Amino acid sequence: MKLTEKKEKKFFSVKDTLFSLEEISDILSSCKKCGKCQSVCPVFENTGFEHHTARGKISLLQGLEKELLFDKSKIEENLKVCLLCGKCGEACPRNIDTKTLFIKSRLILNDFKQKSFIKKNIIRFFIAFPKIKNFIFGNQKIQNKNFSGKKVLFFSGCLFDQFYRDKTLKAFDIFNKLGYNTSLVSGECCGIPFLSSGDMKKYRFSRERLYGKIIDEKPDFVVSGCPTCIDTIKKVWSEFSYDDLILSEKIKVMDFHEFLYSDLKDLNFSAEKTENMKIKWHTPCHIKSLGIENEARFLVDKFSGCSIEKGKEDSCCGFGGTFSMEHPLMSMSVLDKRMKSLDMKKDELLVTGCPACMMQLGRSSSVKKENILHTIDLVFKNIDKISGNQEEKI
Ligand code: SF4
Ligand code: SF4
């Protein structure tokens, strides 16, 4: 099914939830209930409750779909009684990546809670009638469940956390399916909103918290779908450090586009072209300042399935962080100029690589909000077609 078809747009987020549930259920079924996770769990040591161990949480999660049918909050409560320390995963003879499993389950539950009454009931309908779900959406199975590869820590950033949670889920799926051992740091801020408004105290606090989380995870790569966050971690942190919190050179910090380009540049794949459909690409300023415009265009071209038009000039969208709030009229005037140069036609898709640009572009009446995509959406759409081709990342 193509990006442009009506059904796809209407059910897109519903489909994400259904596929995520399916993926989780595959992982849950590999638990053999041996209980080796119990003795290492610091929460169990304190409470003595089986439902606080990984085995207990997995048993509860095995009823997740049923839980969504009746909207109870028992699973959510127990999932939250967890330090996400990962000790259970380390002890697990089945190599279950418990931390990733619990984070992903939290994301699904949180997302479900915020869905509209209608969407909740559509999901419930498909859960109750899986054959109809498979008929409409196809039966998606994880093609690459190899979690033994290099470790990618996906940093969602404030805007994905608040406005685009589906992109975090999709990025998670993309990395897992490409064979990376993926974990997530969310609910944290790189500090740039505070630094740019002159609040050094909050900037340092945010930076220290995020730094600590990154170090604890010991990743090979820190990747984000927000180039502003990556620019901040790579450049601003060292310029405004005032301490010795420098990330080891062993940890590579990369924007989503740069990371996937380095992995997929030699891949012999192009998404199916969609007739009469045009995509326009807006280059975020921080993609430019990171010097990865070509990498971003390469990905969009490969995964769009549409012919891409650049527009007459690739200027700023006018968001500029707090600028858009402090100077709304000026911000809108910069946006108008950008939209004029893009010259969006009815039903054209506008792709960009930054959640802040997505928000700002969505303020224009020249493009429908649902027609604004992140490159993550394009890659996610095609990931099953390529995930089987990838070698194990070791
Ligand atoms: S150690 Fe692993 S397989 Fe055993 S009960 Fe815990 S999660 Fe399940
Ligand atoms: S992640 Fe840590 S606290 Fe949570 S269940 Fe596993 S061992 Fe217990």
Q: What is the pLDDT of residues 121-142, one digit of tens each?
A: 888 888 777 777 777 766 544 3
Provide the sign of the torsion angle of the four alpha carbons 100, 105, 110, 116, taken in this order.
positive
- Note whether residue 327 is domain-resident: yes
Q: Are residues 22 and 132 in the same domain?
A: yes
Proportion of the chain above pLDDT 70, given as a percent: 85
- Note whether residue 142 is domain-resident: no
- pLDDT for 275 equals 62
CB neighbourhood size of 394 (10 A): 8
What contacts 340, CB < 8 A, 6 or more positions away? none
- pLDDT for 339 equals 93
The two tokens of residue 48 are 């003595």
What contacts 207, CB < 8 A, 6 or more positions away? 190, 191, 237, 245
Asked whether the beta carbons of 349 and 3 are under 8 A apart, the reply is yes
Instruction: Of 3, 116, 109, 9, give the one whose Cα is nearest residue 65.
Output: 109
Inform me whether the pLDDT recorded for 66 exceeds 80: no
Tell me the C-alpha distance between 365 and 45, whole Å: 56
* Domain final residue pick, 89, 115, 137: 137
- pLDDT for 243 equals 63
- pLDDT for 145 equals 38
- Note whether residue 54 is domain-resident: yes
Q: Are residues 122 and 164 in the same domain?
A: no
* Domain final residue pick, 80, 113, 137: 137
- Selected residue with higher pLDDT from 134 and 315: 315
CATH code: domain of residue 115 = 1.10.1060.10
Q: Are residues 251 and 306 in the same domain?
A: no
- Local confidence band at 26 (pLDDT 50, 70, 90 cut-offs): confident
The SS3 of residue 370 is helix
- Note whether residue 346 is domain-resident: yes
Q: Are residues 40 and 77 in the same domain?
A: yes
Q: Mean pLDDT across the stretch 92-121?
A: 81
Residue 50 Cα to ligand 1 midpoint, Å, equals: 12
The SS3 of residue 114 is coil
Q: Closest residue (by CA) to atom 3 of ligand 1?
A: 31
Instruction: Read off the pLDDT of residues 350-382 as tens digits, 9 standing for 90 and up.
Output: 999 999 999 999 999 999 999 999 999 999 988
The two tokens of residue 335 are 């946006």
- Selected residue with higher pLDDT from 106 and 300: 300
Tell me the C-alpha distance between 162 and 187, whole Å: 9
Inform me whether the pLDDT recorded for 9 exceeds 50: no
Q: Mean pLDDT across the stretch 17-35?
A: 82
Angle in degrees, CA 69, 164, 210, rounded to 5 = 110
- Selected residue with higher pLDDT from 93 and 270: 93
- Note whether residue 390 is domain-resident: no
Between the alpha carbon of residue 255 and those of residues 16, 154, 246, 375, 378, the distances in Å are 23, 10, 18, 12, 16
The SS3 of residue 281 is strand
For ligand 2, say whether the CB of 81 is within 6 Å of any of its atoms: no
- pLDDT for 147 equals 39
- Note whether residue 1 is domain-resident: no
- Residue-averaged pLDDT of the chain: 81
For ligand 2, say whether the CB of 42 is within 6 Å of any of its atoms: yes
Inform me whether the pLDDT recorded for 5 exceeds 70: no
Of 74-78, 172-176, 386-390, where does mean pLDDT reach its minimum?
386-390
Backbone φ and ψ for 328, nearest 5 degrees, come out as -60, -35
The two tokens of residue 113 are 């809670």
Between the alpha carbon of residue 374 and those of residues 4, 159, 166, 188, 196, the distances in Å are 15, 13, 11, 21, 25
Inform me whether the pLDDT recorded for 94 exceeds 90: no
- C-alpha of 10 from chain center: 20
DSSP string, 94-112: T---HHHHHHHHHHHHHHH
- pLDDT for 387 equals 64
Q: Are residues 200 and 81 in the same domain?
A: no
For ligand 2, say whether the CB of 88 is within 6 Å of any of its atoms: yes
- Selected residue with higher pLDDT from 279 and 273: 279
Q: Are residues 236 and 285 in the same domain?
A: no
For ligand 1, say whether the CB of 34 is within 6 Å of any of its atoms: yes
What is the position in ligand 1's atom list of the atom closest to the CA of 30? 3
- Note whether residue 146 is domain-resident: no
Q: Are residues 233 and 190 in the same domain?
A: yes
In a mutational test of the pocket of ligand 2, which residue from 87, 94, 96 has the highest number of ligand atoms less than 8 Å from its CB?
87
- pLDDT for 38 equals 92
Which ligand sits closest to the CA of 92? Answer: 1
Angle in degrees, CA 254, 104, 353, rounded to 5 = 35
Q: Mean pLDDT across the stretch 257-267?
A: 88
- Note whether residue 32 is domain-resident: yes
According to DSSP, the β-strands at 181-185 and 151-155 are: parallel
Q: Are residues 250 and 335 in the same domain?
A: no
Q: Closest residue (by CA) to atom 4 of ligand 2?
A: 82
Tell me the C-alpha distance between 193 and 275, whole Å: 41
Measured between its terminal Cα atoms, the distance across the chain in Å is 34
Q: Are residues 256 and 284 in the same domain?
A: no
In the chain, count of helices (H) and strands (E)?
22, 8
Between the alpha carbon of residue 381 and those of residues 60, 108, 284, 290, 304, the distances in Å are 30, 19, 22, 26, 9
Backbone φ and ψ for 17, nearest 5 degrees, come out as -60, -45
Q: Are residues 128 and 23 in the same domain?
A: yes
Proportion of the chain above pLDDT 90, given as a percent: 27
CB neighbourhood size of 200 (10 A): 12
For ligand 2, say whether the CB of 92 is within 6 Å of any of its atoms: no
Instruction: Read off the pLDDT of residues 209-243 as tens digits, 9 standing for 90 and up.
Output: 999 899 888 899 999 999 999 999 998 888 777 66
Range of the domain at 376: 278-385
Q: HEC states along 234-275?
A: HHHHHHCCCCCCCCCCCCEEEEHHHHHHHHHCCCCCCCCCCC
Cα dihedral value 351, 356, 361, 364, nearest 10: 160
Tell me the C-alpha distance between 28 and 184, whole Å: 19
Total domains in the chain come to 3
CATH code: domain of residue 205 = 3.40.50
For ligand 1, say whether the CB of 101 is within 6 Å of any of its atoms: no
* Domain final residue pick, 265, 297, 323: 265
Q: Closest residue (by CA) to atom 5 of ligand 1?
A: 33
Q: Are residues 24 and 94 in the same domain?
A: yes
- pLDDT for 8 equals 35
Q: Are residues 205 and 249 in the same domain?
A: yes
Residue 73 Cα to ligand 2 midpoint, Å, equals: 19
